[in-house]
Amino acid sequence: MKQIIIVIVLFLLTLPSFSQNDSVFVRKIYDEALEKGQAHENLRYLCKNIGARITASAEAEMAVRWGFELLKSYAFDSVYLQETKVPHWERGTTEAAWISNSSNQYLKLNVLALGGSVATNGLIEAEVVVVQTIDELKTKSAKEIKDKIVFINQAFDQKFINTFSSYGHCYPIRANGASEASKLGAKAVIIRSLSTPTDHFAHTGVLNYDETIKKIPAAAISTKDADALINWYAKEKIKFSLEMDCKTYPEAISYNVIGEMKGTKDNKIITFGGHLDSWDVGEGAHDDGAGIVHSIEALRILKQLNYKPNHTLRCVLFMNEENGNFGGNTYAQLAKQKKEQHIAAIESDRGGFLPIGFDVRGTDEQLKLVQQYQKLLFDYDLLKFKKGYSGVDISPLMDEYPEMIQIGIAINSQQYFNYHHSHADVFETVNKRELELGTAAMATIVYLLDKTLE
C-alpha cells in the first residue's frame, strides 16, 4: 500500500501546475466562443459569398482575398500571404453516366469525376466488370478486363466506430483503382463513393495516376446507384456509358494566408490552421471551411481576451490540401529555409461537428503532456487524448522538425462522410453550437501548449 501511495504522489508531482487562473481563462475562452463567437457568420460568408474553392479557381483566389482581409480586420500583429505553386484541374461540363441492359432499359446515375481524372473524349461505352477490392482487381487477367469498364464496389465497413478508419480502408480504390485497371487494359474505372450512408450523393476526391501507365477516366457514383448497379449486374451483363470533360492545366500561383500574434518570451512558433481550398462541388463547409473558421476564431478569441503568448501563435489558412498539398509543403520548406523554430502544430480538418478531444502525433512524453490537460478539460467534454493523426497540411512540418508535437482536433466522426467531397457539403449542415465548441477547443489547446511548451 505504501508503494502505491508513493507512485501516486510521484505521478501527481509530474503534472503541470495549472493554477486557478488557467481554469478561469479556459472558461473565458468558452464564454467568448459561445456568447460572442463569429465563426458561424464567417463560415456562412465563405460558403455563400465565395462558394466551392478548388485550387487555381477564381473562387480559390477570392477565398484568399477574403481570408487576408478578415485576418487584417482583427488587427493581429502581422498578416501576410505566402506564395505557393498549385495544380490546376477543372471538371469541365457536368458528367453523365448510365447503365443499360439487353432489354434497352437505362438508369441514369449520379456521378462525379475523380479529381485529376482525364476526360473520356466523348461518350464511351463498355461492358461492366465488377470487383469488390483493389486486391481482387489484381487477380484478374487482361483477357477479363481489356476494353471493359471496371466497377469497384468496396463499401464502408460499418463495424468501425471511427468512420475515418472506414475511409482509410476504402481509400485505395479511389487512389489506385484507375492505374490498376489500366494495367489490364480497362477503358475506365468507376468506384462506389467513399461514404457512410446509402444515398444519391456522389463523392469525389483525388486519384493518383501511375505516370508509367496509360491514364484512363475515373469517376465515383453514389452508394444508392452502386447498389442498383450490383442488382442489375447480378441478373445479366450490363453496359456502362460515361462522358466526362475534365482537363489539367499548367501549375498556377496561389497563396497560404497567415496571421500572427508575436511571442513575448521567444520567437518559437505554434502553427494552427486548416485548408482554404475545397472540392468544386457543394460549398466546402465541413471540408474545410469549419477548420478555417476554427483557426481564425481561436486567434481572435485569444487576442480579445488580451492574452500575451509566450511563443508566436501563427494561424495558417493552407492552400491545396485536396489535390497535392502544395501549400503545406511550401510552408514547411520556407520555415526551414528561414530557420524558424517550430515547436508545435495543430490542424482542424474533420468537420464542424462536436469536438471530443485531441489526437497526438509525437513521442510518448509529448502524449503524456497533452494527457495532463484531461482534468482541466473534462467539464468541456474533451475526453479523447490518444496518439493519432494530426493533419495533411501540417504533416510536412514534422519532416523538417521531427522533435515537434503535432495535434489533430478530434471531432465526432459519425456524420462527416455523409458530406465529404460531395454536393451535400453546404453551410446548412453545420450546427452553430458544435462549430463554436470547436473554436473553443482550438483556442484552448493553443493556449495550453503555449503555457506548457518550452
pLDDT digit string, tens, across residues 193-209: 999 999 999 999 999 99
pLDDT digit string, tens, across residues 219-239: 999 999 999 999 999 999 999
Q: What is the mean pLDDT of residues 150-159?
A: 97
Any idea which residue has 475562452 for its cell? 29
Q: What is the mean pLDDT of residues 77-105?
A: 97
Q: Please, which pLDDT band fits residue 5 given cuts at 50, 70 and 90?
A: very low
Residue 183's H or E segment, with its range, is helix 163-183
From CA 300, how far away is CA 439, in angstroms rounded? 10
- pLDDT over 90 (residue 369): yes
pLDDT digit string, tens, across residues 29-88: 999 999 999 999 999 999 999 999 999 999 999 999 999 999 999 999 999 999 999 999
From CA 227, how far away is CA 151, in angstroms rounded? 12
- pLDDT over 70 (residue 10): no
Shortest CA distance to 438 belongs to which of 294, 255, 272, 225?
Answer: 294
**Residue 361: CB atoms within 10 Å:** 21
Tell me whether the omega of the peptide bond preceding residue 147 falls within 30 degrees of 0, making it cis.
no
Contact between 349 and 392 (Cβ < 8 Å): yes
Q: Please, which pLDDT band fits residue 408 given cuts at 50, 70 and 90?
A: very high
Q: Please, which pLDDT band fits residue 7 given cuts at 50, 70 and 90?
A: very low
From CA 208, how far away is CA 325, in angstroms rounded? 13
Whole-number pLDDT of residue 13: 41
From CA 30, how far away is CA 46, in angstroms rounded? 23
Sign of CA dihedral 174, 179, 184, 190: positive
Q: What is the mean pLDDT of residues 103-129?
A: 98
From CA 445, how far away is CA 298, in angstroms rounded? 10
Q: Please, which pLDDT band fits residue 20 given cuts at 50, 70 and 90?
A: confident
From CA 330, how far away is CA 247, in angstroms rounded? 25
- The values of phi and psi at residue 239, to 5°, are -110, 145
Any idea which residue has 501549400 for its cell? 327
pLDDT digit string, tens, across residues 240-251: 999 999 999 999
Whole-number pLDDT of residue 94: 85
- pLDDT over 80 (residue 95): yes
Shortest CA distance to 42 belongs to which of 427, 346, 391, 424?
Answer: 427
Taking CA atoms, 297 is separated from 4, 259, 395, 440, in Å, by 44, 11, 22, 8
- pLDDT over 90 (residue 102): yes
Q: Please, which pLDDT band fits residue 17 given cuts at 50, 70 and 90?
A: low
Q: Which of helix, strand or coil describes residue 182?
A: helix
Q: Please, which pLDDT band fits residue 19 given cuts at 50, 70 and 90?
A: confident
Shortest CA distance to 128 belongs to which of 198, 189, 218?
Answer: 189
Whole-number pLDDT of residue 254: 98
Q: Please, which pLDDT band fits residue 18 given cuts at 50, 70 and 90?
A: confident
Taking CA atoms, 68 is separated from 64, 86, 241, 278, 407, in Å, by 6, 18, 44, 17, 25
Contact between 198 and 223 (Cβ < 8 Å): yes
Whole-number pLDDT of residue 144: 97
**For the chain, percent of residues with pLDDT exceeding 90:** 95
Of the chain, the end-to-end C-alpha distance in Å amounts to 36
**What mean pLDDT value characterizes the chain?**
95
pLDDT-wise least confident of 14-18, 147-151, 155-159: 14-18
In order of start, what are the domains of the chain with their CATH numbers?
A: 13-88+250-452 (3.40.630.10), 92-245 (3.50.30.30)
From CA 323, how far away is CA 206, in angstroms rounded? 6
Any idea which residue has 503532456 for its cell? 369
Q: Looking at the DSSP assignment, which residues form a beta bridge with residue 346? A: 272, 407
- DSSP letter (8 states) at residue 122: S
Q: What is the mean pLDDT of residues 285-294?
A: 98
Q: Please, how many CA atoms are within 13 Å of residue 125, restricted to the half-sphere of its CB?
A: 9
Q: For the whole model, what pTM was predicted?
A: 0.94
Taking CA atoms, 413 is separated from 147, 274, 420, 435, in Å, by 39, 17, 11, 14
Whole-number pLDDT of residue 16: 53
Parallel, antiparallel, or unpaired: how do β-strands 355-361 and 269-275 relate? unpaired
- pLDDT over 70 (residue 432): yes
pLDDT digit string, tens, across residues 433-451: 999 999 999 999 999 999 9
